[in-house]
Amino acid sequence: MQVETSYMEQHNQVAGIVYMNICTEYGLEIPGSKCKTPSKVIDNDQTKILWCFQIQTDKLNFTKAGEQESVRCDTQAQLMERGCKKEEIISPANNVTIIKEDPLSVSFDNQEPVQMSPQKINLKLRPGLPTTFRISFRRVEGYPVDLYYLMDLSNSMKDDLENVKELGRDLFAALKKITEHAQIGFGAFVDKTVLPYTNTNKEKLQRPCDESDQYCQAAFGYRHVLSMTAKENEFKKKVADQFISGNLDSPEGSLDAMMQAAVCGNKIGWRNSSTRLIVLTTDAGFHMAGDGKLAGILEPNDQQCHMENNLYTKSNEMDYPSVGQLATELEKNNIQPIFAVTKNVEDVYKELSKMIPKSEVGVLSSDSKNVVQLIETAYNVSWQFVIVYQFAAFLFVYAHIFFKTVVCDQGSISWSFCAVSISFDVTVTADSCMEDTSFTIRPLGIKDTLTVTLSTKCECQCKDPNDKMHQLCTNRGSIVCGICSCMESFIGQNCECSIGNKDEQSLRASCQRNNGTECEGRGDCVCGRCQCHSTNQGGRYRGDFCECDDEHCENYQNKLCGGNGKCDCGTCKCNAGYEGSACQCKASREGCLTKGNTVCNGRGRCICNRCDCKEGYQRPQCLICLGCPDPCQTKLDCIECLGFGSGPFGKICDTNCRNITYDMVDNFAISGKECHQKDSEGCWITFKLNQLVGEDNYEAEILKQRGTFLIKQQKTQW
């Protein structure tokens, strides 16, 4: 329920809606005629809705006679203006409790560092009222880095492999600029060893390279070569043992390889506390989910580790992963990919990077000599942005969460770390009442998390009297937030009505008109009868169902009933000399008079000097009826009985045809519509009708001879 400054002026006009919002929309009980407990309290940025639980006494009745208890729910200024004491106004506030807030670590000392603070927060929120808290992030200087070098070993990467064999020293040197705790691993991939990706000829599977290549290893999908190591020589030795392989088509199985590298953590050697990087080097595009159908592989990728003897064993049995599956596992395992690719596929991997958070793309030279520089640049760029994620998609149904970057305290970020910290303001707004729930916030690529537990304040905490039976409630009920909660068999604002053995529901039904809203939402059903509320102007609603008031009639020139009448149960009763739905016109019939000095030809009313015609008749004087039935047909039975004494009305002609005056003639003398109709005996009757004043008054002339029209028609045909 939104309350603006005009609330009190408009309140009683929408009393029924307000009442239902408080007692029905929020599921509150309705004992007697009042809410048992106050409305659940909802705020927004503009208005705070408060509840007055001041108890009624002989000296001070907060709710006046006939007034709804919903007036207790209003702004503080309005409540105090009505006499509610400040200490008796309920206004729940948001509570933010920091449960765990370990300070940020400065440097890495072989213990789990703290890179985000706080770590745990409890929020108890009032629905609609936002609350903001701050989280800080600082990348620890010297934080460990695990780099997994994942290389395409298809035949087109032959020159690049030779250069990579010499990169061990440079790679370790680059990582030493970041941390003393660096490790490097190595893996290789080509593609699935089935058609149409790889030649399945037995000899070609063993030696898929060109005949001119002296060294060539058998076709494979993904091979893990070296687990994470800090030993430069070990890396150099393992890479030196690698040889080119081959396949048929251009796209490679790079997504297969990245998925296994991400989910086989124990085999790769990822540390629990480290920045995890996968550097993928290739000169070709990639296969993805659905491409496996070309080889008859229909089983979807299950995002599980399937590695034996350092080989991906499900390569030929399971489809490639989708980009979404890969992004999920990289994010789940805190792994940041760097795509080091040749110029010809740069655009392809930039599009892929858009779908994988915090991934970077760099362009390799034709022989991969610039790979170390590329890794440094990509790592530098990636850490200029701290991407914060919150995990609780279901929460958006009930709450809104907004992030706002405040500042990197030192004002600049080096390629290794932000020297002090980066802060975020997190604003959370609960949209409705909810059960206790929680969500997690963390920077992508970092293990640290913040767990936020969220609950809502939806009930007012009133200091009620201890009396189980309060005198205000006629000693038949207790006070709950200023309102009587009646004991069984009693209802009413003060529990004054005893229903005995009667069914309360049937009593309430007697206060509903046509099974509608109880007392039209304008009163209280007390003992089976409506007690009507006061109106905004100080009057009262009236009627058996409070259906009437004298304030809601049509206005003219901002005056009720134009100032020329009185409002009576929603209808203007005009003073003498005035008329119209809003008494807006002086009474006059000059514009409605016909040549015969009748008003609107007797087929309408003269309102505001204009004819208000009955249905079908047209202005200005209601002379013509475009939608009325043809009188030649509707009056035929009367014409037959009046002129010839036959037909369906033969014996009751005087009763049914009293509105028609007629003459039997040899030739027509009156104007009007000429009709030619066949009577009940199959003869043709010719007559003219002229409509008189009124809706169903006619004069008629009937030709004495029947069948004349038929003879004339036959002669014309001959």
**Residue 55 tokens, joined:** 């108890």
Element (H, E) at 121: strand 120-125
Q: Verify that 331 and 303 share a domain, yes or no.
A: yes
Among 550, 548, 499, 561, which Cα is nearest to 526's? 499
Count, residues in the chain: 718
DSSP letter (8 states) at residue 378: H
Does residue 542 form part of some domain? no
Q: Which residues pair with 568 in a beta bridge?
A: 571
The residue segments making up the domain with residue 41 are 7-92+462-532
Of 430, 456, 482, the residue that ends a domain is: 456
DSSP letter (8 states) at residue 144: -
Q: Verify that 34 and 70 share a domain, yes or no.
A: yes
Does residue 52 form part of some domain? yes
Alpha-carbon distance values, 43 to 23, 49, 430, 456, 555 (Å): 18, 6, 10, 12, 35
3-class secondary structure, 294: helix
Q: Verify that 200 and 320 share a domain, yes or no.
A: yes
Element (H, E) at 566: strand 565-568
Contact by Cβ (8 Å): 315, 192:
yes
173 — pLDDT class (breaks 50, 70, 90):
confident
Q: Verify that 312 and 247 share a domain, yes or no.
A: yes
Q: Verify that 427 and 521 share a domain, yes or no.
A: no
**Residue 424 tokens, joined:** 């975020």
Q: Verify that 210 and 303 share a domain, yes or no.
A: yes
Peptide bond into 208 cis (omega under 30): no
Structure confidence at residue 301 (pLDDT): 96
Q: Verify that 287 and 435 share a domain, yes or no.
A: no
**Residue 601 tokens, joined:** 């030809």
- Percent of the chain at pLDDT above 90? 24
Q: Which residues pair with 479 in a beta bridge?
A: 484
Other CB atoms within 10 Å distance of the CB of residue 627: 8
As a whole number, mean pLDDT of residues 559-587 equals 89
Contact by Cβ (8 Å): 195, 295:
yes
Q: To which residue do tokens 């009325």 refer? A: 628
Judged against a pLDDT cut of 80, whether residue 694 lies above it is answered with yes
Q: Verify that 85 and 206 share a domain, yes or no.
A: no
Judged against a pLDDT cut of 90, whether residue 222 lies above it is answered with yes
Structure confidence at residue 368 (pLDDT): 61
Q: Verify that 297 and 210 share a domain, yes or no.
A: yes
Residue 184 amino acid letter: I
Does residue 657 form part of some domain? yes
The dihedral sign for the CA sequence 202, 205, 206, 210: positive
The dihedral sign for the CA sequence 118, 119, 125, 130: positive
Per the prediction, the chain carries an average pLDDT of 80
Q: What is the pTM of this model?
A: 0.53
Q: To which residue do tokens 């009313």 refer? A: 605
Structure confidence at residue 226 (pLDDT): 95
Q: Verify that 87 and 155 share a domain, yes or no.
A: no
As a whole number, mean pLDDT of residues 364-388 equals 67
As a whole number, mean pLDDT of residues 625-640 equals 88
DSSP letter (8 states) at residue 39: P
As a whole number, mean pLDDT of residues 442-454 equals 82
Does residue 250 form part of some domain? yes
**Residue 2 tokens, joined:** 């939104």
Task: Indicate the number of domains in the chain.
Answer: 5
The rounded distance, in Å, linking the Cα atoms of 569 and 549 is 5
Structure confidence at residue 42 (pLDDT): 45
As a whole number, mean pLDDT of residues 429-442 equals 85
Judged against a pLDDT cut of 50, whether residue 19 lies above it is answered with no
Contact by Cβ (8 Å): 187, 256:
no
Element (H, E) at 74: strand 73-74
Of 433, 456, 479, the residue that ends a domain is: 456
Q: Verify that 305 and 164 share a domain, yes or no.
A: yes
Does residue 231 form part of some domain? yes
Does residue 611 form part of some domain? no
Does residue 562 form part of some domain? yes
Q: Which residues pair with 454 in a beta bridge?
A: 123, 437
Q: Verify that 235 and 205 share a domain, yes or no.
A: yes
Alpha-carbon distance values, 663 to 159, 350, 684 (Å): 120, 98, 17
Q: Which long-range contacts (CB under 8 A, 24 or more apart) does 422-425 make?
A: 422/136, 422/137, 422/138, 422/386, 423/134, 423/135, 423/136, 423/137, 424/134, 424/135, 424/136, 424/137, 424/388, 425/132, 425/133, 425/134
Q: Which residues pair with 281 in a beta bridge?
A: 151, 340
Higher pLDDT, 216 or 710: 216
Does residue 547 form part of some domain? no
CATH number where 636 lies = 4.10.1240
**463-496: per-residue pLDDT in tens?**
777 777 888 888 888 888 777 888 887 877 778 7
709 — pLDDT class (breaks 50, 70, 90):
very low
CATH number where 576 lies = 2.10.25.10
**227-248: per-residue pLDDT in tens?**
999 998 899 888 888 888 988 8
**Residue 139 tokens, joined:** 């990348």
Higher pLDDT, 496 or 296: 296
Of 326, 358, 382, the residue that ends a domain is: 382
